[in-house]
């Protein structure tokens, strides 16, 4: 079985409808765990920024902000769960 603590991720381009990320890549030097932890931080930042934007946005845009924030929050919760399961595998056995 592969040890996710030493397995390195592959370089991948960022795919987004936002052109400002064109040409950016993930770092191939990160372990899977490091990549997951960095993704957690990026999603925390995105959720914080979305909360600021939502507080200043017109009411008619509320559903758009809700959809984006919900997707990001779900992704963050999934990442948190994966990182915890990998870092503390004995806890995961309780749920098996």
For residue 79, what are the contacts with CB-CB under 8 A and spacing of at least 6?
36, 39, 40, 43
What pLDDT is stored for residue 55 in this prediction? 84
Residue 92 DSSP SS3:
helix
Q: How far apart are CA 23 and CA 33, in angstroms?
A: 24
Q: What is the pLDDT of residues 10-68, one digit of tens each?
A: 888 888 777 777 888 888 888 888 988 999 998 999 899 888 888 888 888 888 888 88
Flag whether pLDDT at 95 surpasses 60: no
> What is the pTM for the complete model shown?
0.73
């Amino acid at each position: 079985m592969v040890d996710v603590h030493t397995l390195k991720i592959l370089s991948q381009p960022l795919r987004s409808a936002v052109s400002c990320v064109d040409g950016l890549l993930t770092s191939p030097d990160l372990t899977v765990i490091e990549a997951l932890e960095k993704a957690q931080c990026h999603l925390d930042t995105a959720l914080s920024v979305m909360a600021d934007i939502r507080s200043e946005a017109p009411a008619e845009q509320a559903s758009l902000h809700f959809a984006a924030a919900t997707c990001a929050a779900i992704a963050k919760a999934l990442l948190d769960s994966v990182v915890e399961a990998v870092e503390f595998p004995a806890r995961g056995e309780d749920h098996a």
